[in-house]
Structure 1
Amino acid sequence: MSEQHRQHFRAQFPALANKTYFNYGGEGPLSQTARDAILQSYDRLQQMGPFSMKANVWVQECAQTLRGAIATELGVAPETVAVTEDVTAGCNVALWGIDWKPGDALLMTDCEHPGVIATVRELQHRFNIEVSVCPILDTLNEGDPVEVISRYLTPKTRLVVLSHILWNTGQVLPLADIVTACRGVSTESGQPIRVLADAAQSVGVLPLKLAESGVDFYAFTGHKWLCGPEGVGGLYVSPEAMESLRPTFIGWRGVEVDGTGQPTGWKPDARRYEIATSAYPLYAGLTAAIELHRQWGTAEERYRQICRSSARLWEKLREISGVTCLRTSPPESGLVSFTLDSGTHKNLVVFLEGRSIMTRTILDPSCVRACVHYLTSEEESDRLVESVREFTAQSGNS
């Protein structure tokens, strides 16, 4: 992509005009295209009458269009996609939908998000299941994640919970290989060990072919790397896993009814995990956001640009005295995490934001995280590097 084309494309994101942005892993900026789609959809609904037969047809079409757009990004069939609010909602659908029995085992990594950890602890409290945590963090620069996870699998294990891209270090886990390892374990229940992937940092970053990976559940959001609106995400459920995953949050969108309006069963596809009325214009916003990314390039092209830009930032940060990147080799995602010898990570983030440079701290491991998108320019990365260098120099002299 030429610099002129890049600047033209970036101009479609108003939030990038007055700041240097490295928080895509927390929330991506909304494009003007997505914003317009949302506002126009709200206007259209009001013109039709928000609760009318015409509006209902439009809502169904809008939802199906979004499922199709998401399915293409994930490499799955639209029938396997449930539209949810965010990553955590999708994870909860999968976690609570399993018919847990006392003594069942759940395995997760030591790099999961607090929202998932808290849910797992409540499952443990309510159902008396066994929870194990495997040390994936230790495999960031050496070691085999598949071997580590395999070591913790037992015949009682029913579910493995992991992140496709670790939200703290940016490490990409070999999802398909992990699924294969899980399938190779004979379980007491006679059912395969299911795998739930938290996809907060992978959807919009990695080229995905989930149907080929064998993963059972894949929970994601549209407001991070896809730069869509807050409040819309989704959950992929494989056809095999759908046979046994029961709906926990239940509403009219997920059920079939008879001629008198009485529920007769679940929808035949992943819609069974959807609940009730949503802010449907947001669906149009996420659909528009996905389409805009495709105009820039294919998923593979976008990922290559992310890796090029994150490697460049990683290299320059490593040149700064007093700065250590968590990875000892170039990043394989858009997350670049680093530490300061001084340990003053929060102070650095405050210092940077004072210069309109947005990053964030991570508590475990304690570090600063910068998220590099394909939208990120070399000038932005250089601005971040120079500001970090200035902060460390000031800290060293104080």
Structure 2
Amino acid sequence: MTVTEPTPDTAIRPFTVEIPQVDVDDLKRRIRNTRFPEKETVDDTSQGVRLEVMQALATYWLEQHDWRNVEARLNALPQFVTRIDGVDIHFIHVLSKHEGALPMIVTHGWPGSIIEQLKIIGPLTDPTAYGADASDAFDLVIPSLPGHGFSGKPDKPGWDPIRIARAWAELMPRLGYDRYVAQGGDWGNAVTEQLALLRPPGLIGIHTNMPATVPDSIQAALDAHEEPPADLTAEERGAWDQLAFFYAHGLGYAQEMAGRPQTLYALADSPVGLAAWMLDHDAASYDLIARVFLGGSEGLSRDDILDNVDLYWFTNTAVSSARLYWESKLAFFAPKGVQLPTGVSVFPDEIYAAPKSWATEAYPNLIHFNRLDRGTHFAAWEQPELFSEEVRTTFRSLR
């Protein structure tokens, strides 16, 4: 790898996470002084995040969770900042020890962060240590979206997924890469697909775990609250049912952030309020997280979840990250006409499990499609082994 000669605008600067102890102490004080509302009046989640879950979360957060553990994990990784289009972009950059490693940029979503990808760094950069072949190794670039985590916060509008994709198209050659692939889910998929549409020199393929495949006719019928078409296959009908449920019961957070992100002052002031907002993303992920805090054993741990909330809290990015919903004018689940080689991994408890028939239409150069038997919206975080193997399989033919 080579690095272009640094200038004040293109310099790549080492980065270390150093949260002052006074901020850690302030977080604990705010958790301790949380004013909880009364219990919900129903015995299900129809009114939102349940009181018993948030009280259990707050107790663990206050008494057992330690931010310094994840801070040490982050600082054990090579981290950098570089300025692109007037905004500082933070990223993790891990090189494989294996010759011929394929460079890949991996983009997180909301309410995710670079924390989501920590578990896949080892399997993808050092596959032989995880039972895979050295020929499947990757060099990883894992950036924080603008307004998220340790990246800068844009002070002017315009930072939508298209502009972020342009920044990624500048970042990769700045790191010396002239041939690479890209991966993303959630907003990471939106950015990755826009990067594929830009067709920057060097980008040879993409992988997504949250594909945008919903046909226009299906979306129109969902928007009109019509009955599902009679000719849907069982797989397509399953996707229809998931989408109909999400549009009816799961869009509140997105509508508020898309319409009035600056109104969310409470998220910057109350850590428990921020945690509740982040938990209430989609039904399957919330159910998993609730089970974790009520004593269950799942793909995510209580520390995993609070590491991520801490990152948003200490960087004060609840509102700046929400603005991405306000900025974007893309139809989230609509096909975008991506022509590059594309791999699609369908995890069953994603917001919707894309049918192969829709994916084939959405991605005419579909080089990999697989339906997994477990996994939610946070696939890399919750099922890192399955996720890593999906990425390896997708890009094997492009090496």
TM superposition score normalised by structure 1: 0.30
Q: Which one has the largest radius of gyration? A: 1
TM superposition score normalised by structure 2: 0.30
